[in-house]
Amino acid sequence: MLFAGRAAAQDVTIPVETQHNAIVLQTDAEKHLNMVYLGAKLANSAEYARIQKMYKQADDSGVQNDVYTPSGSASLGEPAITVTHADGNKSLNLTYVSHTVSKVSDDVSLLVVTLKDPVYDFEVKLYYKTYYKEDVTEQWSVIKHNEKGVVTLNKYASANLNLKGNTTGGFWLKQYHGNWAMEVQPEEARLTHGIKTIDSKLGTRANLYEHSMFAISLDKPATEDEGKVLYGALEWSGNFRVDFELDVTNNLKIIAGINNAASEYHLKPGVEFTTPAFLYTYSDHGKGDASRKLQSWARQYKIVDGNGSRLTLLNNWESTYFDFNETKLAGLLKDTKKLGVDLFLLDDGWFGNSHPRNGDNAGLGDWQENKQKLPNGISSLVKEAQANGVKFGIWIEPEMVNPASDLYKAHPDWVIKQPNRPEKYFRNQLVLDLANPKVQDFVFGVVDNLFTKNPDLAYIKWDCNAVIYNAYSAYLKKDQSHIYVDYVNGLYNVLKRVRAKYPKVPLMLCSGGGGRVDYGALQYFTEYWPSDNTDPLERVFIQWEYSFFYPAITSSNHVTDWGKQPIKYRVDVAMMGKMGFDIVIGKLSDNELAFCQSALKNYDGLKDAIWHGDQYRLASPWDNDAASIMYVNADKSKAVMFNYLVNNRYGSGTKVPVRLKGLDPNKKYRVKEINVFPGTGSVLGNEDLVLTGDFLMNVGINPETNTYHTSVVLQLEAI
Ligand code: DGJ
């Protein structure tokens, strides 16, 4: 414990500092705790105490800067918390009581602030976990009371940030929407007065239409390297809600948390309700810097094995769909070896007997090998993979059930559906009720059985293809409004158990594409599936946008037959993350196969920079004929620059040198084009090109991307 404070007569000021930034909390005359600053840290920390006085108090307007805005008392802005007390009263007032700061490690600190209602026995503790080097904060709240009876939490946000208004350009929100196969479509606009809300009410696949991740630029939209920008996202895999309220004093209040729609939570006395964490980082140096902070934090602290390795793979989904048998799979295992990847991933369709999984309308829930397709079971496939010198992985979708399944017939009460309404399906399936501990045991059992029976199983793709319609849990009885929250916590219980027993095994987070990409789930996974849309032209944009929040090591990029691009372009695009294939190897020409094999070898030499290095976006696909992006390893001795043409009109291409970033100006780099297709030459000609980091970052290099060379990969090695 480093510090503990209590309410005193004079104002209490609590600065929360990271390497470059500070958040400042301060009490006012009525002991309300306000968030008075979020921005670059001040050289003289004694000046933090003066910040609040610089702003005109707006008491008469009811506009406050509460650190966690209650409702029904003096603050009249959008609340972070709304409750119905045990006596039916709806007024909450929260005042500062005390705070503590403790060190978790050299890099990580935890501030806990206690707020209480002076009238009701009701308490909120605010947690700020800060990562000093990464400038990242995770913030959540723990709510508790000792009233005589149950209190209803009508709204219970994770965090409430206040950004002070400026007189110039206001606040600019970059947000994401999408749908199946068109994930993470960005929009950026200036916030106007009033409230803008982004949210999800889908239950599962919560990110199908919107994301909780966003960026707020101050004054004007931040660019890659310039501008003040705050990045935020909720670590939650269910319904979320983020409110942006631009108030009458031009302050911006950001309230992020679980969506309270149809989700009042009943809290018994003495029980703690813990909200998910809201994650944020701030930069004075643009979106690139902010995203590198998030990527580095995720590798270091959040995702499973972020500093470790990943397996390249061959998946069979697009090459066979549900139509395979042991003979076909034996051929695919040989292809896996021939191609030169680490693992074969068997996708959907391997299970179900009374309701065989030969299409997407039957079998989910019956996780036994289909005897016709796989008479010798998974274990013989795992062995056969080993005999071929490759590993074996498998697809599951354990949260779901088809009405055409033994599971549905045996346990109708395990299924989320309204008792008195017709069933409504999404992809012919329903969602299992993970609020029910027995269902949690079943879902854990699906994974555990696979590993127990096949200890050498090396990878799992965990899919989730339906949203929750007709939300009703037979298990929750009178607490139906808990279903969305308890579902996600039930899912996390299962994933915690999986990780306790299988700490490092690679798990891919998939949700019919990118329907569930968030750090709440990703803390249990090694990678995610960005989109079923694997047309590389589309993927350039999709992977580009995800990269603002998630490191390349987590992005599963598969080479498939989607789109019209040549194999080189498809491979080059997959390479900017965690690479895999989902094509029929036998259909490749000799040159195409040789190209893929040699690209995999190149990838092997560069994967440390791509997976663990710093990423720099050089030319945006939204603004240029060609996108350019690069990765530099930790000691700046190795880098790779990917360039992709995204406009195929006559004469389009990279016309001027692209300035590189993140290199050592004093090092000399040998620049070489790699992934050159057999029979074609390098765009750089035959010259042995050696240039300084100084030259490459100030003058740049033209990768010559054009309609003949639609993708160009340049490797840089310090000599
Ligand atoms: C949706 C996934 O996104 C696909 O990759 C594939 O696994 C199918 N489900 C299988 O049903």
Provide the token pair at 410: 């045996």
Q: Whose CA is nearest to atom 3 of ligand 1?
A: 512
316 annotated to bind ligand: no
- Give 245-281 pLDDT, tens digit per residue: 999 888 999 999 999 999 999 999 999 999 999 999 9
Is the distance from the beta carbon of residue 459 to the nearest atom of ligand 1 less than 6 Å?
A: no
486 annotated to bind ligand: no
Torsion of CA 312, 316, 317, 323, to 10 degrees: -170
562 annotated to bind ligand: no
- Domain extent listing, the chain: 65-302, 313-613, 615-718
Q: Distance between CA 150 and CA 159 in Å, rounded?
A: 24
Strands 507-509 and 459-462: parallel
Please say whether the dihedral angle defined by the alpha carbons of residues 497, 501, 506 and 512, taken in this order, is positive or negative.
negative
Exactly one of 342, 532, 614, 625 is catalytic; which is it? 532
Q: Distance between CA 484 and CA 471 in Å, rounded?
A: 8
The total of other beta-carbon atoms located within 10 Å of residue 6's CB is 10
What residues contact residue 310 under an 8 Å CB cut-off, 6+ apart? 506, 526, 527, 553, 578, 607, 611
Confidence band (pLDDT; 50, 70, 90) for 11? confident
Q: Please give the pLDDT value at position 602.
A: 98
> At 645, phi and psi to the nearest 5?
-70, 130
Provide the token pair at 238: 């269910």
Q: For residue 688, how many C-alpha atoms fall within 13 Å in the half-sphere facing its CB?
A: 2
Percent of the chain with pLDDT strictly greater than 70: 97
Q: Distance between CA 56 and CA 181 in Å, rounded?
A: 49
Q: Whose CA is nearest to atom 1 of ligand 1?
A: 512
- Give 531-571 pLDDT, tens digit per residue: 999 999 999 999 999 999 999 999 999 999 999 999 999 99
Q: What is the dotted CATH code of the domain comprising 615-718? A: 2.60.40.1180
Mean pLDDT, the chain, as a whole number? 96
Residue among 323, 320, 324, 345 at smallest CA distance from 333:
345
Is the distance from the beta carbon of residue 392 to the nearest atom of ligand 1 less than 6 Å?
A: no
Strands 194-199 and 240-246: antiparallel
Residue among 392, 396, 312, 398 at smallest CA distance from 345:
392
pLDDT above 80: residue 459: yes
Best residue among 182, 205, 314, 317 to mutate for probing ligand 1, ranked by most atoms within 8 Å of CB = 317
Position with higher pLDDT, 655 vs 55 = 655
60 annotated to bind ligand: no
Q: Whose CA is nearest to atom 4 of ligand 1?
A: 512
Q: Please give the pLDDT value at position 4.
A: 57
- pTM, to two decimals: 0.97
Q: Please give the pLDDT value at position 248.
A: 87
How far does residue 551's CA lie from ligand 1's centre (Å)?
A: 22
Is the distance from the beta carbon of residue 529 to the nearest atom of ligand 1 less than 6 Å?
A: yes
Provide the token pair at 259: 């969506």
Best residue among 315, 346, 351, 465 to mutate for probing ligand 1, ranked by most atoms within 8 Å of CB = 465
Q: Whose CA is nearest to atom 10 of ligand 1?
A: 348
Provide the token pair at 161: 């940030």
Q: How would DSSP label each residue in 568-622?
A: HHHHHHHTTSEEEE-S-GGGS-HHHHHHHHHHHHHHHHHHHHHHHSEEEEEE-TT
Provide the token pair at 321: 């769909």
350 annotated to bind ligand: no
How far does residue 520's CA lie from ligand 1's centre (Å)?
A: 21
Provide the token pair at 198: 């982004």
pLDDT above 50: residue 413: yes
Is the distance from the beta carbon of residue 395 to the nearest atom of ligand 1 less than 6 Å?
A: yes
Q: With contact defined as beta carbons under 8 Å apart, do 235 and 519 qualify?
A: yes
Q: With contact defined as beta carbons under 8 Å apart, do 672 and 622 qualify?
A: no
36 CB burial (10 A radius; 0-12, 13-18, 19+)? buried
How far does residue 537's CA lie from ligand 1's centre (Å)?
A: 20
What residues contact residue 10 under an 8 Å CB cut-off, 6+ apart? none
| 356 secondary structure, DSSP code | -
Is the distance from the beta carbon of residue 510 to the nearest atom of ligand 1 less than 6 Å?
A: yes
Confidence band (pLDDT; 50, 70, 90) for 637? very high
Residues present in the chain in total: 719
**Within its chain, how far is the Cα of 377 from the centroid?**
34
Q: Distance between CA 627 and CA 635 in Å, rounded?
A: 25
| 554 secondary structure, DSSP code | G
How far does residue 560's CA lie from ligand 1's centre (Å)?
A: 13
The Cα-based distances of 442 to 188, 398, 400, 647 in angstroms read 43, 9, 11, 49
How far does residue 461's CA lie from ligand 1's centre (Å)?
A: 9
Provide the token pair at 136: 């990242």
Provide the token pair at 655: 């016309």
Q: Distance between CA 4 and CA 7 in Å, rounded?
A: 11
pLDDT above 60: residue 9: no
Q: Distance between CA 436 and CA 482 in Å, rounded?
A: 12
What residues contact residue 714 under an 8 Å CB cut-off, 6+ apart? 640, 641, 643, 671, 672, 673, 674, 684, 701, 703
Exactly one of 135, 342, 463, 535 is catalytic; which is it? 463
How far does residue 515's CA lie from ligand 1's centre (Å)?
A: 11
Confidence band (pLDDT; 50, 70, 90) for 168? confident
Q: Which CATH code, of 3.30.530.20, 3.40.190.10, 3.20.20.70, 3.40.50.300, is assigned to 313-613?
A: 3.20.20.70
How far does residue 194's CA lie from ligand 1's centre (Å)?
A: 40
Q: Distance between CA 714 and CA 600 in Å, rounded?
A: 15
Rounded to whole angstroms, the maximal C-alpha distance in the chain is 82
Q: Whose CA is nearest to atom 11 of ligand 1?
A: 348
Is the distance from the beta carbon of residue 466 to the nearest atom of ligand 1 less than 6 Å?
A: no
Q: Distance between CA 14 and CA 200 in Å, rounded?
A: 34
Q: With contact defined as beta carbons under 8 Å apart, do 348 and 397 qualify?
A: yes
| 642 secondary structure, DSSP code | E
Q: Distance between CA 650 and CA 204 in Å, rounded?
A: 44
How far does residue 463's CA lie from ligand 1's centre (Å)?
A: 7
Confidence band (pLDDT; 50, 70, 90) for 343? very high
Mean pLDDT of 488-501: 98
pLDDT above 70: residue 62: no
Q: Whose CA is nearest to atom 2 of ligand 1?
A: 512
> At 264, phi and psi to the nearest 5?
-60, 140
596 annotated to bind ligand: no
Q: Which atom of ligand 1 is nearest to the CA of 511?
A: 3
What residues contact residue 254 under an 8 Å CB cut-off, 6+ apart? 159, 160, 161, 162, 163, 216, 232, 242, 243, 244, 245
Confidence band (pLDDT; 50, 70, 90) for 60? low
465 annotated to bind ligand: yes
Q: Which atom of ligand 1 is nearest to the CA of 510?
A: 3
Best residue among 345, 395, 534 to mutate for probing ligand 1, ranked by most atoms within 8 Å of CB = 395
205 annotated to bind ligand: no
How far does residue 321's CA lie from ligand 1's centre (Å)?
A: 9
Is 463 known to be catalytic? yes
Burial 555-592 (b: 16+ CB within 10 A, else e): bbbbbbebbebebbbbbbbbbbbbbbbbbebeebeeeb
- Give 312-330 pLDDT, tens digit per residue: 999 999 999 999 999 999 9
Is the distance from the beta carbon of residue 465 to the nearest atom of ligand 1 less than 6 Å?
A: yes
- Give 141-159 pLDDT, tens digit per residue: 999 999 999 999 999 999 9
pLDDT above 50: residue 1: no
pLDDT above 80: residue 623: yes
Q: Distance between CA 135 and CA 137 in Å, rounded?
A: 7
Is the distance from the beta carbon of residue 384 to the nearest atom of ligand 1 less than 6 Å?
A: no
pLDDT above 90: residue 7: no
Provide the token pair at 247: 């108030």
Confidence band (pLDDT; 50, 70, 90) for 705? very high
Q: What is the dotted CATH code of the domain comprising 65-302? A: 2.70.98.60
Q: Which atom of ligand 1 is nearest to the CA of 360?
A: 11
Is the distance from the beta carbon of residue 183 to the nearest atom of ligand 1 less than 6 Å?
A: no
Best residue among 510, 529, 542 to mutate for probing ligand 1, ranked by most atoms within 8 Å of CB = 510
Q: Please give the pLDDT value at position 53.
A: 82
Q: Distance between CA 682 and CA 672 in Å, rounded?
A: 8
How far does residue 550's CA lie from ligand 1's centre (Å)?
A: 21
